[in-house]
Structure 1
């Protein structure tokens, strides 16, 4: 079977088999791509993280300078026609994320990826320089390797400066706020809904039937149904453009998944065939779920611990008691 697939897969060149012309072509196109990636980072971060955006703009400009130097050397040696060889044509050559994906990377990931990109580019230039027999080409590739190493250190040092300086602290605060708005807030709402709203139907079924399997099926359907409903509701009611709450599909995913988890937490124990054992474990799970919600509210939403306990634990216990009373009636 692997041999069959290999028949339809484009052949990839070994780096050692590339000619000097092909190596320079590869370097030119790689610098162009890296420059576009850094420009995309800058555009994505410009509104909320101007200091980091300026760093990426500067790196994009430096990549363009590298491309110009390589292009000048190529034209002098081989003429104006660039061989269309790309990273994916060379076996084992480092890859880059698609441009549409890098545009949506969060701040910390973008900074870390930039340092990694520079490290990979340095390794490429050092290897290419070691294979070159032309003195001018060898010198340029060696200089570019040193420049990429310097850029990697610069990216890491700038990251440190941006983390500790006033601008960096402001950006870190903004990143934290965005994380809370996009992931924590809808996820917490989903967890609360899944954990609390499913208590009554699950425990009402449990005490009405005393059948663990039936209770599990009711809990499973209630949890998944609530998750789907919460996820679509969160994604549909706010596109995030005016509210600044971030991507609707991210918020919908967080809300839907956490809603489902919240309900499944006290439904899964009813896979145990012994009713009272399953119920005892389910009640313990409910207690843990409610305390987790209290901790998240206190940790990320800065809700005073007393108020969070009153709202969540008291409300959850009332819903739980309602389900038990109705089921046992």
Structure 2
């Protein structure tokens, strides 16, 4: 790997040609990823890829004039100071906001590169072209705004943002909430039954840990095998399964940990407080993301939790 200051003008032009080609391919890859769900944004990136191709042709013409036909292979990762970007196909499914942020960072980095390269160039024609391309990147940012305005009017942008929010809810919030509710509520009965029947906090902890981990594994597999997400839009089944399993385990282990306290009365008191926090969190998530009124969400969750808790106490005390 070499420092940018060590590159010759020929190598700088070769690097610029490769960078423009890479950026154009990234924009086309992004467009392909967005084509089905965000067609307006996809068209915006296709147009931006076409502009990157125009920049590459200008660089190629100047390089051919100055240095001939052979272009050495010099890539961003061969030069210190450039950001390393993963190929788009290796990225998990990005949100529309993530992609817009990626474009902004790409344009800013390319602009800085051309300005620095132009300041170091001694050949007048090379200096002029690099300076022009730096200005073109500034215009490209404005052009991106124009393309965004053309392809993404407020109505379209709102529709895409709503779609992205819905996908996030279906793929993460909903399975996470299902897991949290199951872990927090379903483990109440065995934990408190063990505590009241044995009188030993450690026994309740063992039962709670086993119930939490077992429920997490069971719920994770159940969610992953429920559907592949191709028709429902619920995303990758493996991710949903992991989210559901982790949240189920977390929901159960929260009020299990207090039973590590040697005193049963103190352990029960702390566990009660943890359960109250868990149920309040579930109610808040249902209100925030599931369009459920705060009172209704609280009553539903509290009623379910109270019934399961009472079942555990009755069985344990009996």
Give yes or no for the alignment of 1:20 onto 2:17. no
Match of residue 315, structure 1, among 301, 304, 317: 304
Conserved in 1, the CA contact under 8 Å of 2:43 and 2:151? no
Which residue in the other structure is 1:42 paired with?
Answer: 31
Give yes or no for the alignment of 1:143 onto 2:132. yes
How many residues end up aligned between the 2 structures? 318
Match of residue 74, structure 1, among 43, 50, 63: 63
* Mapping 1:105-116, distance limit 5 Å: 105-116=94-105
Unpaired stretches in structure 2, ≥5 consecutive residues = none
Give yes or no for the alignment of 1:302 onto 2:280. no
Match of residue 274, structure 2, among 256, 261, 285: 285
* Mapping 1:125-274, distance limit 5 Å: 125-155=114-144, 165-274=154-263
CA apart distance, 1:160: 8.0
CA apart distance, 1:18: 0.9
Distance 1:240 1:123, change over 3 A: same
What do residues 238-292 of structure 1 show as CA deviations (whole Å, max 9, x unaligned)?
1111111112222222212211111111112122222111111111111121122
Equivalent position SS for 2:33: helix
Q: Distance in 2 between matches of 1:165 and 1:158?
A: 13
Conserved in 1, the CA contact under 8 Å of 2:215 and 2:248? yes
Q: Distance in 2 between matches of 1:162 and 1:81?
A: 39
Give the structure-2-normalised TM-score. 0.93
Equivalent position SS for 2:315: helix
What RMSD, in angstroms, separates the aligned Cα atoms of the two structures? 2.0
Conserved in 2, the CA contact under 8 Å of 1:115 and 1:155? no
Unpaired stretches in structure 1, ≥5 consecutive residues = 1-11
CA apart distance, 1:34: 1.2
CA apart distance, 1:213: 2.6
